[in-house]
């Protein structure tokens, strides 16, 4: 057997071995450049394209579909008593654009993963849109209270929406609170801070 024949057989064997080890995913567009071809000629997608680490129900066989950001679901089925709101793509309140990997949120929801419920009319320019977690601690939030409450999802599964539900904290040109010299009603009020009160003071006819 000549040296040329030996080299030819060696090259043929090498090609066969390479195909056996890596598999062939030509029919799957070589995993679209976003995955690895396994021994059984199936694509194992990279993260962000349908890997086991991604939270998605849609995985393209050729790894051609992007995965969108995920957060706690707004309304999934409970897996057992006291346990629900698992992570979901677009928080189950949006549609994933598989070409861009961005969520197209339903009306009223915002954030990269549609994870927040926005404030009405963006507080009309007279308030700050804050989370329920922050609102519970705010001294000037209504109803007014001398007690500071804790509504934090890290401490309780009941408060799963503490960073998801948003509300307006309306502004006021005068001090609001329960202490002396403070008024128990803010200047701007309403769900979207669109209503405005006139200044008030003690009734001179009272003692």
The average confidence (pLDDT) of the chain is: 87
pLDDT tier for residue 77 given thresholds of 50, 70 and 90: confident
Residue 3, pLDDT above cutoff 70: no
- Model pLDDT, residue 19: 46
pLDDT at 20 over 50: no
Residue 64 has pLDDT above 50, yes or no: yes
Task: Give me the pLDDT at residue 11, please.
Answer: 53
The pLDDT of residue 132 is 93
Cα dist from 3 to 11, 100, 124, whole Å? 12, 53, 84
> β-strands 87-89, 70-72: how paired?
antiparallel
Distant-in-sequence, close-in-space partners of 36: CB < 8 Å, separation ≥ 6: 43, 44, 46
Preceding peptide of 194 cis, ω within 30°: no
Distance of CA 156 to the CA centre of its chain: 19
Nearest of 124, 130, 121 to residue 194 by alpha carbon: 124
In this predicted model, which residue has the larger pLDDT, 152 or 110? Answer: 110
What are 140-156's pLDDT values in tens digits?
998 888 887 888 877 66
Give the rounded percent of residues in the chain with a pLDDT score beyond 90.
63
pLDDT of 14 reads 47
DSSP 3-state helix, strand, coil percentages of the chain (rounded to 5)?
Answer: 20, 20, 55
Q: Does residue 18 surpass a pLDDT of 60? A: no
Asked whether the predicted pLDDT for residue 95 surpasses 90, the reply is yes
Which of 2-16, 59-73, 145-159 is predicted least confidently? Answer: 2-16
Give residue 81's pLDDT: 72
**Would the pLDDT of 188 be above 60?**
yes
pLDDT for 97: 98
């Amino acid at each position: 057997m000549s040296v040329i024949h030996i080299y030819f057989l060696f090259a043929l064997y090498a090609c066969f071995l390479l195909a056996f080890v890596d598999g062939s995913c030509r029919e799957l567009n070589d995993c679209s450049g976003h995955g690895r071809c396994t021994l059984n000629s199936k694509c194992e997608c990279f993260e962000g394209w349908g890997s086991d680490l991604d939270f998605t129900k849609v995985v393209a066989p050729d790894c051609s579909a992007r995965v969108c950001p995920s957060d706690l679901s707004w309304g999934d089925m409970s897996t057992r008593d006291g346990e629900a709101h698992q992570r979901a793509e677009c928080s189950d309140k949006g549609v994933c654009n598989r070409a861009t990997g961005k969520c197209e949120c339903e009306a009223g929801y915002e954030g990269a993963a549609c994870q927040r419920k926005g404030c009405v009319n963006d507080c009309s320019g007279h308030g700050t849109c804050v989370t329920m977690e922050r609102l519970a601690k705010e001294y000037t939030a209504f109803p007014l209270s001398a007690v500071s409450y804790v509504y934090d999802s890290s401490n309780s599964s009941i408060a799963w929406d503490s960073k998801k539900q948003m509300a307006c904290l309306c502004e006021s040109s005068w001090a609001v609170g329960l202490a002396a010299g403070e008024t128990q009603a803010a200047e701007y009020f309403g769900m979207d801070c669109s209503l405005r009160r006139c200044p008030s003071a003690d009734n001179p006819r009272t003692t």
